[in-house]
Chains A and B, each alone.
Chain A
Amino acid sequence: MREAQASAVGAGPTRARLAWRWLRELPLLPIAIILVVLVIPAIFAEYLAPHNPYSGSLRARLQPPAFLGGPSEFLLGTDHQGRDIFSRIIFGSRISIAVAGAGILIGGSIGTTLGLIAGYFRGVAETIVTRLVDLTLSIPAILVALVVAAAIGARFTTVVAIVALVLWAVYARQVRAEALKWAQSDFVARARVAGASHFRIIVRHILPNIANTLIVLSTLQLGFVIVFEGSLSFLGVGIPRPNPAWGLMVADGRIHVVSAWWIAFFPGLAIMLTVLSVNMLGDWLRDRLDPKLTQV
């Protein structure tokens, strides 16, 4: 019978063509900026930086950038301790990536787990998690950071812990809403009818469907974390000196902003470019990964 020979619709484009389509539509400018400002410097800092980022010569302090008449060896000028700003920005990208990466990984994992539990099981778990989320999001993060830093001192781990503390709630709230939606879908009902355990349903059915959300959320949070780390450093409760964190550099340049504006300006520019392009990438990913938009 002919009806039995129903074949798949339109025999869809091949995998290679789909991959090519993806590549062609990549947002090249944001990706280029992220690579140039963040990723490449972080990986090759030792080779790219012309000077030692931690120490400088006081004789060479407050030199303007090379293109503004300063000595040719300091591309973006020097700070009040005579350290090369260009080199410090290059090494600073490592700190940004490390803080953002560790903070998002830890905060995201905790938040996702709690969000899944709350959204899938509902009941008491949901009440507790949503209350905790509300509580966390209602406390000004900077204030917590100040208190924590005052109590146990500013360290890399402290900064990461504070970032995770703020982030988990963002993840938990978003994941809970998504899990709630998928938990009521027919395919989850079918999985239950088939006898799948709660664990299997969460891991095999719900988690893969919120993976896109997690990816998009993480890119968007990346920008937030870099700014947040900058603010912490600026307030003196972030990465301790003499580490070349971008926020810290802005803070240090503050008192010289009239006489030597470049000290604060270039790390600030690095923050701005990174955050802007990461957010653009996040927006693009969100549009791209939304199944409703890719269907047609």
Chain B
Amino acid sequence: MASQPTLRVEGLKRHFPVTMWRRLKRVAAVVKAVDGVSFDVGEGETLALVGESGCGKTTTAKLILALDTPTSGTIRLGDTDVQNLHGEAYRHYREQVQAVFQDPWSSLNPRMRVKEIVSEPLVVNRRRSRRDIRARVAEVLEAVGLNPAHADRFPHEFSGGQRQRIALASALSSDPKLIILDEPVSSLDVSIRAQTMNLFRDLQGQFNVSYLLIVHDLAVARYMSDEVAVMYLGKIVEHARTEDLFSEPLHPYTKALFAAALPGHPDVEREEIVLEGEVPSPIDPPSGCPFHPRCPMKIGEICETTVPALRTHQGRHAVSCHLYDDEAAAATASAEA
């Protein structure tokens, strides 16, 4: 990307100290929920963070939303570093980064009217006239396809899909640069998902906003995003432009996810990749490559001892797997020669 990214995350880590009891003795341990994650979200683009539960995608979202503080690493929105924001800079950040959560039933305060919910990012950050606020609320409600005349209603008068539209209207009201969409359609009815996804896509262009999409459904990621990063146990294992990733997944874990995804037609035959076991506990992650205990393509000892680096493959497709070490080495060699 030529222009400066909207969001730049570098070396992000979030380790939670936990205490456990083992044989009646207290042991201190660390959960590495997010363990060195870096990515950019380009202006007006969508990056999908894909992974199973416990992979750290939700914690990453919380860190960017400043609902939690990173152990180390930086998050930059444009030129501002998110750490230790105060006063005007803090208010500005709060206006610029918004979120839409998974469950539209719990993410809208049942005791607030739609207009209060939608205008909250506006009213808490700076003084605006009532007329401005009313006009903006009507504008964003219209944009998400709701009747502005319903602004006086309470959330329970709306269906799930409509509530998700209200949440989006609220997120858009302060004209943000980045909206984090945390599984925005997975709790909606199937017949509502398509209209909601189309709405998200349409409004992205209209409001020129970037999305960070947290999602477990690969097909949704493909439809919604420009770029995809696959996470496993707190690390990004593969990161590429959406079309590159879907046309040629490289990491064995990504391949396994593809194989496990449900087909769109009974005649779709998928490569049978049987992943045995479950995601290991992030308290005691495996040595070397975090995926090696379940990996069907394990090469050998190197997988158990050495953490593979996230390296660029063919110039644009980043993957962290020893399978592609030779290729990377060859590339470096040829560059040197």
Direct A–B touching in the complex (beta carbon < 8 Å)?
Answer: yes
A binding-site residues for B, Cβ under 8 Å = 3-9, 12, 185-187, 189-197, 200, 204-205, 208-209, 211, 291, 295
Q: Which of B19-67 contact A (CB under 8 A)?
A: 65-67
B111 x A8 contact (CB < 8 A): no
Using Cβ atoms and an 8 Å threshold, which residues of chain A touch B121? Answer: 193-195
B binding-site residues for A, Cβ under 8 Å = 65-67, 90-91, 94-95, 97-99, 101-103, 106-112, 120-121, 124-125, 145-147, 150, 153, 156-159, 161-162, 165, 167, 170, 174, 195, 198-199
B195 x A3 contact (CB < 8 A): yes
Using Cβ atoms and an 8 Å threshold, which residues of chain A touch B66? Answer: 193
Using Cβ atoms and an 8 Å threshold, which residues of chain B touch A191? Answer: 109, 120, 124
Nearest residue, chain B, Cβ from A211: B111
Can you name 22 A-B pairs with beta carbons within 8 Å? A3-B145, A3-B199, A8-B157, A8-B158, A9-B159, A186-B103, A187-B106, A189-B65, A189-B67, A190-B99, A190-B101, A191-B124, A192-B65, A193-B67, A193-B94, A193-B98, A195-B90, A195-B121, A195-B124, A208-B109, A209-B109, A295-B156
Q: How far is the CA of A5 from the CA of B157 in the complex (A)?
A: 16
Q: How far is the CA of A286 from the CA of B145 in the complex (A)?
A: 37
Query: Which one of B110, B124, B167, B174 contacts A196 once the chains associate, using CB atoms below 8 Å?
Result: B124
If A186-B101, A190-B99 touch, whether A4 touches B145 (CB-CB below 8 Å) is yes
Other than A190-B101, A208-B111, give 19 A-B pairs with Cβ distance below 8 A. A3-B145, A3-B198, A5-B145, A6-B145, A6-B165, A7-B150, A8-B162, A186-B102, A186-B103, A189-B65, A191-B124, A194-B170, A194-B174, A195-B124, A196-B124, A209-B109, A209-B110, A209-B111, A211-B111
Q: How far is the CA of A208 from the CA of B108 in the complex (A)?
A: 13
B107 x A190 contact (CB < 8 A): yes
Q: How far is the CA of A196 from the CA of B146 in the complex (A)?
A: 25
Using Cβ atoms and an 8 Å threshold, which residues of chain A touch B165? Answer: 6
Q: How far is the CA of A5 from the CA of B165 in the complex (A)?
A: 12
Q: Which of A12, A186, A189, A208 has the most CB of B within 10 A?
A: A186
If A186-B103, A193-B99 touch, whether A6 touches B162 (CB-CB below 8 Å) is yes
Using Cβ atoms and an 8 Å threshold, which residues of chain A touch B112? Answer: 204-205, 208
* A57 CB, min distance to chain B CBs, angstroms: 58
Nearest residue, chain A, Cβ from B111: A208
Nearest residue, chain A, Cβ from B142: A4
Q: How far is the CA of A268 from the CA of B103 in the complex (A)?
A: 52
Query: Which one of A189, A194, A208, A209 contacts B101 once the chains associate, using CB atoms below 8 Å?
Result: A189
A196 x B120 contact (CB < 8 A): yes
Cβ-closest 9 pairs across A and B: A195-B94, A186-B107, A208-B111, A4-B145, A194-B121, A187-B109, A186-B101, A186-B106, A196-B124
Using Cβ atoms and an 8 Å threshold, which residues of chain B touch A208? Answer: 109, 111-112
B95 x A205 contact (CB < 8 A): no
B111 x A194 contact (CB < 8 A): no
A190 x B170 contact (CB < 8 A): yes
* A294 CB, min distance to chain B CBs, angstroms: 9
A6 x B170 contact (CB < 8 A): no
Q: How far is the CA of A204 from the CA of B124 in the complex (A)?
A: 12
Q: How far is the CA of A141 from the CA of B15 in the complex (A)?
A: 47
If A6-B145, A190-B99, A195-B125 touch, whether A205 touches B110 (CB-CB below 8 Å) is no
* A189 CB, min distance to chain B CBs, angstroms: 6
Q: How far is the CA of A178 from the CA of B159 in the complex (A)?
A: 26
Q: Which of A5, A6, A193, A197 has the most CB of B within 10 A?
A: A193
A8 x B65 contact (CB < 8 A): no
Query: Which one of B124, B146, B147 contacts A194 once the chains associate, using CB atoms below 8 Å?
Result: B124
